[in-house]
Chain A
Amino acid sequence: MSLTLPLLVIIVLSIIGSYLARRRALSVSGGDIRHLASLPKQHGLNAILSTAVPAMLAIIVWLFAARIMEYRGAAPIWVPLGIMALALLGLVLSVMKVSNTFRARTASETWIKGLLIGASTIAIMTTVGIVFSMLFESINFFRQYSWTSFFFSTDWSPNFRGNSDLGILPLLWGTLYISFIALAFAVPTGLFAAIYLSEYATPRIRSIAKPAIEILAGIPTIVYGLFALVTVGPFLRDYFAQPLGFGDSASSVMTAGLVMGIMLIPFVSSLSDDIINAVPQSMRDGSLGLGATKSETIRQVVVPAALPGIVGAILLAASRAIGETMIVVLGAGAAARISLNPFEAMTTVTVKIVSQLTGDTDFASPETLVAFALGLTLFVITLALNVLALYIVRRYREQYE
Chain B
Amino acid sequence: MEDMYRMDKAMNAQQDTKISARNVNVYYGDKHAIKDVSVEIADKTVTAFIGPSGCGKSTFLRCINRMNDTIDIARVTGNILIDGEDITDPRVDPVQLRAKVGMVFQKPNPFPKSIYDNVAYGPKIHGLARNKSDLDEIVERALRRGAIWDEVKDRLLEPGTGLSGGQQQRLCIARAVATEPEVLLMDEPCSALDPIATAQVEELIDELRQSYSVVIVTHSMQQAARVSQKTAFFHLGNMVEYGVTDKIFTNPEDPRTESYISGRIG
Contact = CB atoms under 8 A, between A and B. Distances in A.
Interface of A: 203, 280, 282-293, 296, 300-301, 304-305, 399-401
B70 interface: yes
B31 to A, nearest CB: 19
A286 B179 CA distance: 13
A293 B103 contact: no
Nearest to B65: A289
A254 to B, nearest CB: 38
Given A399-B159, A401-B159, A401-B161, A289 B98 contact: yes
A286 B102 CA distance: 10
Residue from A291, A293, A400 whose CB has the most chain B CB atoms within 10 Å: A291
Interface size class of B (residues with CB under 8 A): 20 to 34
B176 interface: yes
Contacts of A296: 125
B172 interface: yes
Interface stretch (B11-19, B105-113, B191-199, B212-220): B105-113
B112 A290 contact: no
Contacts of A400: 112-113, 159, 161
Contacts of B126: 291
B122 interface: yes
A401 B110 CA distance: 11
A288 B94 CA distance: 9
B237 to A, nearest CB: 22
B123 to A, nearest CB: 9
Given A292-B95, A292-B125, A287 B111 contact: yes
B99 interface: yes
Contacts of A287: 111, 121
Contact of A289 (B105, B107, B110, B159): B105
Nearest to B118: A286
Contact of B109 (A203, A280, A300, A304): A280
A400 B100 CA distance: 29
Given A300-B121, A305-B112, A399-B159, A288 B70 contact: yes
Contacts of B97: 291
Residue from A283, A288, A290, A296 whose CB has the most chain B CB atoms within 10 Å: A290
A290 B109 contact: no
A288 B111 contact: no
Nearest to A400: B112
Contacts of B110: 286
30 contacts: A203-B72, A280-B109, A282-B109, A283-B112, A285-B67, A285-B105, A286-B109, A286-B110, A286-B172, A286-B175, A288-B70, A288-B98, A289-B105, A290-B122, A290-B175, A291-B95, A291-B97, A291-B125, A291-B126, A292-B122, A292-B125, A296-B125, A300-B111, A301-B111, A305-B112, A400-B113, A400-B159, A400-B161, A401-B112, A401-B159
A286 B175 CA distance: 10
Contacts of A289: 65, 67, 98, 102-103, 105, 176
A304 B105 contact: no
Interface in B49-107: 65, 67, 70, 72, 95-100, 102-103, 105, 107
Given A283-B109, A304-B113, A290 B67 contact: no
Nearest to B110: A286
A118 B68 CA distance: 54
A291 B122 contact: yes
A290 B175 CA distance: 8
Interface in B103-161: 103, 105, 107, 109-113, 121-122, 125-126, 159, 161
A280 B98 CA distance: 20
A288 to B, nearest CB: 6
Contacts of B109: 280, 282-283, 285-286
Contacts of A288: 67, 70, 98
9 shortest interchain CB distances as A-B pairs: A291-B99, A282-B109, A291-B98, A400-B112, A289-B103, A286-B109, A290-B122, A305-B112, A400-B159
A337 B102 CA distance: 61
